[in-house]
Amino acid sequence: MDTDLNSEPITWVARTTRELTARTNPVQGTRQQGNHMPIHWYPGHMNKASHEMKSVLKDVDLVIELLDARLPFSSQNPTIKELSTTKPCIKVLSKSDLADPALTRDWQVHFEQEESVKTLATNLDIKHKAESVLHLCQKLSPKTLRSTRTMIAMITGIPNVGKSTLINALAGRKVAKTGNEPAITKGQQRIKINEEVTLLDTPGILWPKIHNENSGYRLAISGAIKDTAMNVEDVAFYLSGYLLKQYPESVNQLLDTKTLPNNDLALLEALGRKRGCLRRGGQVDLEKVSSVLVNEFRTGKLGRISLETPSMIPAEEAQVEQLKEEKQRRDELRKAKRKKK
């Protein structure tokens, strides 16, 4: 018999007022403006890496940009987006074995609307990956360069996207990982692949400011943002809301039921009971079940799921612009008030 999840009592206890107020989901449109998920990292390192990237970009022939196939927009480095428009670019959609195949195809079509961009969806099939990337490098290399000198291909990607896996596959050996924190470890390294191609590896970085709040959540869900830098419960609530809306069949499978939970909290509650994430007295341990859900997403146990589609992005970008404009207006008002004093 199926359990009616919606009739089960809510047994988690919010420990702080913040928890209660934060538990509205942006995907369902109920989150209040300004109720941002705090992410703690080191903008200094990110800024340094970003500047380094800008300074070398002019000397490279081609960019290989690794994107997470589950979040191709959110895992795109804005610096690369701004600066590499004139450079040929191979967008490698890694971890496509974990992404929704139909949406991965949509993203490829979307990116390839730009003439200088070619895309490739990859998985852990290393040999196939390396051959395809090198083939595209040859195809995209500037005509003037062919057979005159080695091509320099800069390789970029956010932490954990699969950059080392790809580099090792291309080099045919294990290459020492370029540190993700340029202030601490070596910032960039050159790796000779063959007579035609040399890779310029860059640190796996995130950028100092993520303006699109949805992108922040998606990056956190994917594991690009360290778990210590975010609130896993906030992230799990976002993921739950998204799954309910976009992948209801996966939720039913996850909970082994035909009745969809009413909301994000009911989903986490039900999963908590199913996985035995309980506190003393039988209350669901929300923190524990949040980690369970996020990890099951990351390892593909929830099925092949993508967190964004090309058609979602324009509305999100418009909202970001609107918020920026509102902030600018507020700042100007504040300045004017100060001047009057």
- Interacting span for ligand G4P (CB under 6 A) from 20-28, 101-109, 119-127, 307-315: 119-127
Can residue 162 be called a binding residue for ligand G4P (CB under 6 A)?
Answer: yes
- Interacting span for ligand G4P (CB under 6 A) from 15-23, 24-32, 163-171, 187-195: 163-171
Considering only the C-alpha atoms of the chain, give the largest distance between any 2 of them, rounded to a whole number of Å.
73
Can residue 203 be called a binding residue for ligand G4P (CB under 6 A)?
Answer: no
| Residues 6+ away with beta carbon under 8 Å from 162 | 66, 68, 94, 95, 122
Query: Virtual CA dihedral for 253, 246, 268, 7, nearest 10 degrees?
Result: -80
Can residue 94 be called a binding residue for ligand G4P (CB under 6 A)?
Answer: yes
Asked if 215 and 225 touch (Cβ cutoff 8 Å), the reply is no
Least distance in angstroms from the C-beta of 318 to ligand G4P: 31
- Interacting span for ligand G4P (CB under 6 A) from 54-62, 104-112, 120-128, 248-256: 120-128
Least distance in angstroms from the C-beta of 246 to ligand G4P: 20
Can residue 165 be called a binding residue for ligand G4P (CB under 6 A)?
Answer: yes
- Interacting span for ligand G4P (CB under 6 A) from 102-110, 118-126, 145-153, 243-251: 118-126
Which of 160, 212, 215, 290 is close enough to bind ligand G4P by CB under 6 A?
160
The span from the CA of 88 to the CA of 144, in Å, is 14
Q: Nearer Cβ to ligand G4P, position 104 or 215?
A: 104
Least distance in angstroms from the C-beta of 126 to ligand G4P: 9
Can residue 204 be called a binding residue for ligand G4P (CB under 6 A)?
Answer: yes
Residue 117 belongs to what H/E stretch? Answer: strand 117-121
The span from the CA of 244 to the CA of 319, in Å, is 23
The span from the CA of 227 to the CA of 216, in Å, is 13
For β-strands 197-201 and 189-192, DSSP reports them as antiparallel
- Interacting span for ligand G4P (CB under 6 A) from 5-13, 100-108, 154-162, 250-258: 154-162
First to last CA, the chain: 70
The residue number whose beta carbon is nearest to ligand G4P equals 162
Which of 8, 19, 52, 97 is close enough to bind ligand G4P by CB under 6 A?
97
Q: Nearer Cβ to ligand G4P, position 122 or 212?
A: 122
Q: Nearer Cβ to ligand G4P, position 74 or 141?
A: 74
Residue pointed to by tokens 């998920």 = 37
Residue 62's nearest CA partner among 169, 138, 168, 160 is 138
Can residue 306 be called a binding residue for ligand G4P (CB under 6 A)?
Answer: no
Residue 98's nearest CA partner among 72, 130, 65 is 72
Residue pointed to by tokens 């003439």 = 115
Can residue 76 be called a binding residue for ligand G4P (CB under 6 A)?
Answer: no
Sequence-ordered strand ranges (E) for the chain: 62-68, 89-94, 117-121, 151-157, 189-192, 197-201
Residues that bind ligand G4P (CB under 6 A): 94-95, 97-98, 122-124, 157, 159-165, 204
